[in-house]
A and B are shown apart, each in its own frame.
Chain A
Amino acid sequence: MPWQNNNDNGPSGADAGETGSGSSNGGGSGSGGNSGPGPRNPWGDGPPQRPSGPRPGGRDPFEDLLRRGQDGLRRALGNNAPGPRGSGGPAMPSGQVIGIGIAIIVALWIVLTSFYRVDAQERGVVLRFGRFVDTTDPGLHFKLPWPIDSVVLRKVEQINSVDIGATGGSAENLMLTGDQNVINLAYAVRWKIRNPELYLFELAEPEQTVQEVAESAMRAEISGAGLNDVIGPQRAQIAERVRERMQELLDSYRAGIEVRGIDIKQADPPQAVDASFKDVQAAQQDAQKYLNDSRAYAQTVLANAQGSAAAFDAVYAQYALAPEVTRKRMYFETMEGVLSKVDKTVVETGGVQAYLPLPEVQRRSRAAPPAEPKPAQ
């Protein structure tokens, strides 16, 4: 029995072993409790107190029944009453009550500690004096009563999650990438128990192991990848590779743990260099803007060219039919339009020095003969 070794084992090594077994017993068997005094009480001074309690008020039918039963038992045993009765009245009935009390308690004990229930998402691992006996599926099961068999229940269907690195931004989980950049990574590991026996018996600290293995696998994977890969589209592949690597490692420990997936929640450059990273994105936007502007310019220029060319072609087609007339017409129409709006001075005689009564000489524009005679033909 587990508690007995406490008595004769002085060395501290025994304590370490004992706590291990104690915790595994205590964690699982809810029916039994794990203290020594439990079962020892019934044979000690427990039961006599219970029947002696209701004795004074012994009028009810149950008390009568009990007493009749005691009498019958006494007669059956062939007990010569005078001895105990002579020494003291209450002594003889209490001896009978002890027997019945023990029987009741033993019955209760067997019933209460022999059945256990395994919930839908659990598996029960049955231990007989610490030795593995069986793993049971959900349902109601029978086992040997408590000190002999104990059950440890573990939730095998439940998916546990371990968060590594914080997304809040307070404490950065910095990691070196293969190109010696630094990245702030936060991720979660989802895992569940695949094999409850291995999980219970093989690893001393399964949850810590999962976390450490995850960190190691993630670092190994990140240190083989470039910064842009980690930030960018390769996240999913990296997560998958980390999962495989973790599973391999845990299997090599025979951990009985299945890694369901890695979720990379955040893979960002550290805050210290965040501004520079954002500037790159801004630069990409800027470059796109330059390109768009130039395209718009190109469209304008081309449209202008096509328009002008088409206009010229149209005019030229007509001009080609009657060059002389068209040319003259165009010239005069233009001159008409131009000269009708401006101040005009006509110098009549060729030999006379031109007197220029410029009425508005103060105007900044010099009097320039716009229609400098160009030989028409």
Chain B
Amino acid sequence: MNAITRMPLLWASVAFALIVVAMSTLYSVPETAQAVVLRFGKPERIVNAWDPKAAFGTSGAGLVAKVPFIESVIFVDKRVLDLDMEAQTVLSTDQRQLVVDAFARFRITNPQKMVQTVGTELNAADALKRILASRLRNELGKQPFAAMLSPERTALMETIQTTVNQQARQYGAEILDVRIKRADLPAGRPLDSAFERMSSARNQEATTVRAQGAKQAQLVRAEADAEAARIYANSFGKDPEFYAFYRAMQAYRTTFQDGNANVVLGPGNEFLREFEGRRSAR
């Protein structure tokens, strides 16, 4: 205290120098980043490099020292990064269009290489995006339309991933996964015709359902008619002659019910047989 108060300027400058040295010596590396230490711009070493086996807290993150003023640090993301691609139209082998929207996940596994080749993760992502887009178009273009939709897509994606990975390694990156997020018919003509096809399929189904219903109904009616005929035959067959008489009587009743008829009765009529007083014995 005594010395400080006596020569404040000197002490202040000493403290300032210490702080400057400390600041350019110590730096903290977060768990989410890998640090590339450059000596005069040349990559010297990597701190907290990505290692799948290292547990958190043991991989070298934290407060780290470097040689002041000579070495500088570049941070490179250690996490799994997103590569979202623009939707693009792909033509299948059977000349049908499909709009494909894919994404990939990648990670910088060799930050030194990445710093040397493209500089930043963003540039790496751009480069990978271009490669992936062209690979995707090429590979999908070799497929028929149905295969693009089917589960075989998984194998297809693996092929793409492998080929892209070879190039990704040049940028110090590794593609973890390539996936198709969307595979849709392009708006306009292809989508409309798909809708039309769906409509016509449904119309067909509706017509079929109605026709089937009508058929079933007819069968039910016919069965009922047949059963009724059987019942009638069973009953009336016992005496066909009497049935004819019986039925005729019923028919007369119902036919002349309204009374709008003129009946001319001849003398031989059965009804008038007794009219003349037992002209003929029967």
Q: A212: which of B179, B227, B259 is its contact (CB, 8 Å)?
A: B179
Judge whether A175 and B264 touch: CB under 8 Å.
no
Judge whether B261 and A367 touch: CB under 8 Å.
yes
A375 smallest CB distance to B (angstroms): 8
A325 smallest CB distance to B (angstroms): 13
Judge whether B184 and A175 touch: CB under 8 Å.
yes
Q: A342: which of B27, B209, B225, B262 is its contact (CB, 8 Å)?
A: B262
Judge whether A1 and B264 touch: CB under 8 Å.
no
Q: A294-B217, A316-B238, A370-B255 are in contact. Are A339 and B150 (CB under 8 A)?
A: no
Q: Does B135 contact A (CB under 8 A)?
A: no
Judge whether B27 and A272 touch: CB under 8 Å.
no
Q: Does B121 contact A (CB under 8 A)?
A: yes
Q: Does B176 contact A (CB under 8 A)?
A: yes
Q: Which residues of A contact B238 (CB under 8 A)?
A: 313, 316
B140 smallest CB distance to A (angstroms): 14
Q: Does A131 contact B (CB under 8 A)?
A: yes
**Docked complex Cα distance between A212 and B143 (Å):** 24
Q: B214: which of A77, A290, A308 is its contact (CB, 8 Å)?
A: A290
Q: Which residues of B contact A253 (CB under 8 A)?
A: 80, 105, 176-177
**Docked complex Cα distance between A74 and B224 (Å):** 123
Judge whether A220 and B232 touch: CB under 8 Å.
no
- The residue in chain A whose Cβ has the minimal distance to the Cβ of B29 is A130
B252 smallest CB distance to A (angstroms): 5
**Docked complex Cα distance between A346 and B145 (Å):** 92
Q: Which residues of A contact B182 (CB under 8 A)?
A: 175, 215, 219
**Docked complex Cα distance between A313 and B239 (Å):** 10
Instruction: Bits for B149-166, please: 1 = Cβ < 8 Å to A, else 0.
Output: 111011000000000000
**Docked complex Cα distance between A174 and B99 (Å):** 12
Judge whether B265 and A344 touch: CB under 8 Å.
yes
Judge whether A294 and B220 touch: CB under 8 Å.
yes
Chain A residues numbered 91-133 whose CB sits less than 8 Å from any CB in chain B: 95, 99, 127-133
Q: Does B133 contact A (CB under 8 A)?
A: no
Instruction: Bits for A328-348, please: 1 = Cβ < 8 Å to B, else 0.
Output: 001110110111011111111
Chain A residues numbered 1-40 whose CB sits less than 8 Å from any CB in chain B: 1-2, 4-5, 7-14, 16-18, 20-21, 24-25
Return 10 A-B CB contacts under 8 Å, by A number: A77-B1, A77-B2, A273-B202, A280-B209, A283-B209, A294-B216, A297-B220, A301-B227, A338-B252, A367-B262
Considering the complex of A and B, which 5 residue pairs feature the smallest CB-CB distances, nearest first? Answer: A17-B75, A287-B213, A131-B62, A298-B224, A294-B217
A interface list, Cβ under 8 A from B:
1-2, 4-5, 7-14, 16-18, 20-21, 24-25, 77, 79, 84, 95, 99, 127-133, 174-176, 178, 180-182, 197, 200-205, 208-209, 212-213, 215-216, 219-220, 223-224, 249, 252-255, 269-270, 272-273, 275-277, 279-280, 282-284, 286-291, 293-295, 297-299, 301-302, 304-306, 308-310, 312-313, 315-316, 319-320, 323, 327, 330-332, 334-335, 337-339, 341-350, 354, 356, 358-360, 363, 365, 367-371, 373-376
